[in-house]
Structure 1
Amino acid sequence: MKLKILASDWHPFADALCARTDVESAGIILAERLPDSVLLARRLTPLADAAYAIRKRDRIRIDPVALNRLVKPARERGLSVFTVHTHPAANEAWFSTADDLGDSVLMPSLLTQMDGPHGSLVIATNSRAVAARAWYASGSPVPAQIHLIGKTLRVLTSEDEQPEQMWFDRQRLALGESGQRILRQLHVGVVGLGGTGSVTFAQLVHLGVGRITVIDGDRAEATNISRILGARTSDAGVTWKVDIALRYATNVGLGTEVTVHRGRLGAEVTPAVLGGCDAIFSCVDAHLPRALLNRLAYEKAILLFDMGSAFRITAGSPMEGAGRVVVTGPGRRCLACWGHIDPNRIRVESLPPDERARQQAEGYVAGADVPQPSVVAFNTQVAGAAVIEFLRCVTEFCGADDPPDRLSFDFGNGSVRRNRLAGDTDCGICHPKVAA
């Protein structure tokens, strides 16, 4: 079970609870239920002084009337409840005997009032270390992961299991034991399994990412075989791209769980299937799925890595090419702010196929379905850079505290520029969720 919390919500909440070191302090988190046993914190409320029936250094009891008032929105909106309390002057977070006793009474009570899961969380005030667990109607508590989402992703709790055997020994030398363990705990989406998407997927498999959900609505064509990793000439016109990806991961055998969706995002596949992801790689040419992913990143606190490449061929002169990687999500400017979402293209892509074809034939639509140049070497450069930015964001590798928002590649001269957007924004998508 995983609870995602925006960094901009967590830090003031934890500060308020840890301000007192002479007594325990408490608060309530109400969380939305997402797919795949993932919760997203929607409201974090420190308890007022009057809400405590008992408040001492080693135990607390919340006034039942105050507790009922705090959890009422959960009953009304179908949310999960997490109780939070501190252990004053502690360096490690753990559940005490008093905590076990209190939860053994409170959690079954909550589960009889509303569907679960519900849970509890302890903060050690000295270190801000966290321990968390979730309770289901089926019985005993299970460990809960706490993921803190801002410009980067931080896992505040970790599972006891270690990375598998020897397969990642060299990788652990670069990313550390904790970095490798975090990769195994993550759920990552890859939308689009063409040139950049297949290379991205392959890297995630070899990195040991725990779970990957892939979405693509096409079978491999003859022109795909030279740039889709793991594709065979026998796949042309026959095999779905998602099935090539699944076969690739199975053959590698590093234990990555792969979920496949055969269809187009926004048509046969809804964005909701990605709601439980920690990060998503947008490897699509179309603007409609890109816009859906852009909004989803802010609505469900997901890191989004959008990538693409473009080439220009001018008669009598060499071909020019450029690529980009844009990192968006909480705390960052969105793809619309960067100008990578075209409302007119979205309108065209939303048309029924026959109407779109008619408008193209009449000259109202230019270039929407025109095949673009694609070369595996350039795709690999862009996808590799996107995955490196992903590693910065989730493992604290190499400058994670100040990651760029956009990388721009000039394939002609080999240059790479790191960009940020200057100034404030009143964007209706990313501004409300900007995190500190």
Structure 2
Amino acid sequence: MSETPNKTAFLVREVFPVSQEHIIFNSDKRIEYSCDAYESVIKRAANTGQCFFIVHSHFNGYVGFSELDDEQESKLLTCVWNRISNGYHGSLVFNDASTFEGRVFEPISKEFQEIHRLKVVGNQYRIISSINQPEPRAINLEKLDRNIRAFGEDMQYRMAELHIAVIGCGGTGSALIEMLGRMGIGTLTIVDHDRFDVSNITRMHGTKVGDENRLKTEIISEMIDSFDLATIVVEISERLDNATTGEKLKDCDMIFSCLDDTNFTRLILNQLSLFYYIPLIDMGIAFDSRNEVLHDVLGRIDILTPDRACLLCRDVIDMDACASEMMSPEEYNRQLKIGYAKELKDDNVQSVTYNTMIASQAINEMLYMLLGMRDIHRNSHKVYKYYSDRITNDGVNDLVKKTDCICGLSEKLGRGDSDTFLDMYWPNKNHV
């Protein structure tokens, strides 16, 4: 489960179908099964600290909960609450794969609270709205007309409901944020602690001479507001190396990582994606020089969903570099001298053209997921070799998870909130 001031989300970790031995009666109009079908599941939920939900469907196209559901579920969920009082419990009813009604039981008042939407995360990213969903967010159909002609009005309303986080407002991040803003994304959370420097003018979208020393998030937020497409911008002008900042991303539907060569921050996003089922699209640009001659420009995109190997398995994250980044400057220099700390890269070569290209390709990957255009067999690790005009997976098999990696541990995937955020050690000082 994930709780924030804005919403409560339930993360599905285990599904238990009713076994044949518990079915008492089954016809084309109704099904009956014994209460024993629930007992082992309720016990497991109590032992593992999980919530309990009952899921079913109705025959003959009946939509929503019936009077019998209201009566029986109130009794059942009261019993569950007496066994498991440290969480919420509820039910879902489906008419088909695109229609549902959901609710959470409140034991004191014996009333139900509605669940408004479901998210299905995988090769396709589906958002299913409840039959009792609030009115869709208002959008400017005239301004967004060309977008609607390309992807349809339904898709435009879906984008207006999305909450997307972008980590990093530099060359790649600013390009990506500008495109997302022009697409009519509903809410954008932008994260960057840095201030604008005159050297950023060649690659950072939305900037101008005179912006020196302003927060990058402030500049980018003004750019999005100038489009007047009703996008809500949440500015986080903080480092993403602490639990307090990290928890602010739990509300997001998707995260784009536009970081420099920063391993510890990528590790945080990797864990956040796995713990909370938030799709992560991580990207980067590298200039491949040999003997001081430019050999190629490489663009990388990694898409992380719970069914795929994570950034650790793909060796995108260097754990030795993580350890070095977590040290204080004094400790880092001391460990470096005696050979126990990894020397960190200081390669900040950038180009607005390649930054913008990889940002565009990352957004297209998002569209493929939302539109269901992604082939389930496609590799979610891509390396674009721009000079040689090739796309490769660089030998990475994103279906193979390393032994004992977090992405393969059932007790970690979809775990949600825990006593220690992401089960990580959070240092008080960080290498700068």
Q: Specify if TM > 0.5.
A: yes
Q: Which amino acid aligns with 2:68?
A: A
In the alignment, which residue of structure 1 is the partner of 2:383? 408
SS in 1 for 2:344: coil
Preserved CA contact (<8 Å) 2:2 2:276 = no
Would you say how many aligned residue pairs link Structure 1 and Structure 2?
399
Cα distance between partner residues in 2 of 1:364 and 1:406: 31
Q: What's the CA shift string for 1:376-433, capped at 9, x where partnerless?
A: 211100011011111111222x445444312322333444446673484434233447
- Change in Cα spacing, 1:202 to 1:107, as seen in structure 2 (3 Å) is farther
Aligned ranges for residues 96-115 of structure 1 at < 5 Å? 96-103=66-73, 114=85
Preserved CA contact (<8 Å) 2:313 2:402 = no
Preserved CA contact (<8 Å) 2:124 2:370 = yes
Match of 1:144 among 110, 116, 122: 116
Preserved CA contact (<8 Å) 2:137 2:161 = no
Preserved CA contact (<8 Å) 2:93 2:102 = no
Q: How far 1:314 moved relative to its partner?
A: 5.6
In the alignment, which residue of structure 2 is the partner of 1:135? 104
Q: How far 1:77 moved relative to its partner?
A: 5.5
SS in 2 for 1:341: coil
Match of 1:204 among 170, 180, 184: 180
- Change in Cα spacing, 1:72 to 1:311, as seen in structure 2 (3 Å) is same
User: Structure 1: which 5+ runs fail to align?
Assistant: 1-31
Cα distance between partner residues in 2 of 1:408 and 1:224: 25
Cα distance between partner residues in 2 of 1:357 and 1:234: 36
Matched, 1:194 2:194: no
Cα distance between partner residues in 2 of 1:95 and 1:47: 19
SS in 1 for 2:222: helix
Cα distance between partner residues in 2 of 1:323 and 1:47: 48
Preserved CA contact (<8 Å) 2:23 2:33 = yes
Q: Which amino acid aligns with 2:165?
A: G
In the alignment, which residue of structure 1 is the partner of 2:2? 33
Matched, 1:307 2:277: no
Aligned ranges for residues 232-243 of structure 1 at < 5 Å? 232-237=208-213, 239-243=214-218
Q: Which amino acid aligns with 2:117?
A: Q
In the alignment, which residue of structure 1 is the partner of 2:248? 273
- Change in Cα spacing, 1:103 to 1:229, as seen in structure 2 (3 Å) is farther
Cα distance between partner residues in 1 of 2:172 and 2:200: 11
Q: What's the CA shift string for 1:54-106, capped at 9, x where partnerless?
A: 8776566775676465334545655433221122364x743334334444555
In the alignment, which residue of structure 2 is the partner of 1:372? 348
Cα distance between partner residues in 2 of 1:100 and 1:208: 39
TM-score normalised by L of structure 2: 0.78
In the alignment, which residue of structure 2 is the partner of 1:261? 236
Match of 2:125 among 153, 170, 174: 153
Match of 1:344 among 312, 320, 325: 320
Cα distance between partner residues in 1 of 2:120 and 2:407: 18
Preserved CA contact (<8 Å) 1:407 1:418 = yes
Q: How far 1:194 moved relative to its partner?
A: 1.5
In the alignment, which residue of structure 2 is the partner of 1:183? 159
SS in 1 for 2:242: coil
Cα distance between partner residues in 1 of 2:375 and 2:253: 17
Q: How far 1:350 moved relative to its partner?
A: 1.1
SS in 1 for 2:158: helix
Preserved CA contact (<8 Å) 1:215 1:260 = yes
Preserved CA contact (<8 Å) 1:33 1:80 = no
Aligned ranges for residues 79-98 of structure 1 at < 5 Å? 79-88=50-59, 90=61, 93-98=63-68
Preserved CA contact (<8 Å) 1:212 1:257 = yes
Q: Which amino acid aligns with 1:430?
A: C
- Change in Cα spacing, 1:234 to 1:109, as seen in structure 2 (3 Å) is farther
Q: Which amino acid aligns with 2:127?
A: V
SS in 1 for 2:273: helix
Preserved CA contact (<8 Å) 1:312 1:321 = yes
- Change in Cα spacing, 1:181 to 1:403, as seen in structure 2 (3 Å) is farther
Which deviates more, 189-198 or 75-84? 75-84
Which deviates more, 54-63 or 341-350? 54-63
TM-score normalised by L of structure 1: 0.77
Match of 1:223 among 188, 192, 199: 199
Q: How far 1:149 moved relative to its partner?
A: 1.7
Matched, 1:297 2:273: yes
Matched, 1:287 2:263: yes
Q: How far 1:323 moved relative to its partner?
A: 1.4
Q: CA RMSD in A?
A: 3.6
Q: How far 1:309 moved relative to its partner?
A: 0.7
Preserved CA contact (<8 Å) 1:187 1:276 = yes
Match of 1:246 among 201, 212, 221: 221
Cα distance between partner residues in 2 of 1:76 and 1:251: 52
- Change in Cα spacing, 1:315 to 1:290, as seen in structure 2 (3 Å) is same
Cα distance between partner residues in 2 of 1:324 and 1:354: 33
Matched, 1:430 2:401: no
- Change in Cα spacing, 1:329 to 1:419, as seen in structure 2 (3 Å) is farther
SS in 2 for 1:249: helix
User: Structure 2: which 5+ runs fail to align?
Assistant: 415-432
Q: What's the CA shift string for 1:315-362, capped at 9, x where partnerless?
A: 674574221111222222222233211122112111102333556688
Cα distance between partner residues in 2 of 1:226 and 1:108: 62
In the alignment, which residue of structure 2 is the partner of 1:29? none
